[in-house]
Structure 1
Amino acid sequence: MQNDNIKRWLELAKQFQQGQFWDSVFDSDYTEQMMKQFSATDGTAKSASSFPRADVLLGMREMLIRVDLPGVRKEDVELSVSDNAVVVKGIVHPFAQNMKIVQTERHTGEFERAISLPESIAPQGKITARFENGLLEIRIPRVQRPREEIKID
């Protein structure tokens, strides 16, 4: 029964690909194009989703977010917050502008990262941020809900 389904699937695939279905699946140019989407070809290793790196920690009274921003100046960073995310946006200027890049693993250029929060932020909460030596530290007070009795019917 399973072989019959595979044969039908292959016949259908041949109709859509004029008999060249498997050639296009295993085509080296196609594979190379797919790999280029996941890695840069100029010696750089950039991933928009992982820069800047961040840690989110929960304490009894506050959330602490630590964001690594090596080589970034305080005035090149923008910070905003919504109910469920902190957005860090800015620019990393190239270190040596007159030199040819042979290999780099550092991010340069503009960046923006939304860091999801594990809980909503209290509107009256006082959020503080401090930037020192390439480390952005954001402190967000946690919502302190009083214990509420629930009537059981």
Structure 2
Amino acid sequence: MEINKMKQWLDMAKQFHQGQFWDSVFDQDYTKQVMEQFTNPAVSVNQAAAAPSFPRAEVLKSNREIVILIDLPGVRKEEVELSIMDGSLYIKGVSNQSYPDLQVVQAERFKGEFERAIPLPDKVGSGAKISAKFDNGMLEIRIPRPQRPRENIRIE
């Protein structure tokens, strides 16, 4: 029985030595992305980690409305698209390089195309008067909350 274990160990060590072991352990695309972070100085570790949550958002609500604040530093309002579907606010756009003619030495801010769904706390009616205002890199979206009329309950 000990000989069988030793043989298994040797087979595994052989695979490890040939590089096949790590190929099977790690997903190829993920490994490539991680390695690119270390070999390409223009891509930072923080940028890759932040990409799924870009842009940063805050959802607030009162009795009358839902307010969504979205940070979009360096993004022009013409490069942003907003839509509402299935109880979520969808934001899509592009964050371009501020100085495309300069070489990047260190990059910590997200650049490129982005798309994100932000779940809303209430369903939004199709006729809702939604407003959006873009000022100094901050997008503010206001969605009126459906007002439910007060309903009296008859006591028997």
- TM-score scaled by structure 1? 0.72
> Match of 2:51?
48
Q: Aligned with 1:20: secondary structure?
A: helix
> Match of 2:126?
123
* Alignment of structure 1 residues 94-109 onto 2, 5 Å: 94-109=97-112
The structure where helix makes up a greater share of residues is: 2
CA RMSD of aligned residues (A): 3.5
* 1:63 aligns to 2:55 (yes or no): no
Take 2:26 and 2:105, find their aligned partners in 1: how far apart are those partners? 25
Would you say how many aligned residue pairs link Structure 1 and Structure 2?
137
Deviation at 1:81, TM superposition (A): 1.1
Unaligned runs of 5+ residues in structure 2 are none
**Which residue type is aligned with residue 117 of structure 1?**
L
* 1:145 aligns to 2:148 (yes or no): yes
Q: Is the 8 A contact 1:68 1:135 kept in 2?
A: yes
Distance 1:66 1:40, change over 3 A: farther
Aligned sequence identity (%): 46
Q: Is the 8 A contact 2:51 2:110 kept in 1?
A: no
Take 1:65 and 1:125, find their aligned partners in 2: how far apart are those partners? 15
> Match of 1:91?
94
Distance 1:72 1:151, change over 3 A: same
Where in structure 1 do 4 or more consecutive aligned residues deviate above 6 Å?
none
Matching residue within 20, 35, 56 for 2:12: 20
* Alignment of structure 1 residues 1-12 onto 2, 5 Å: none
Take 1:39 and 1:70, find their aligned partners in 2: how far apart are those partners? 28
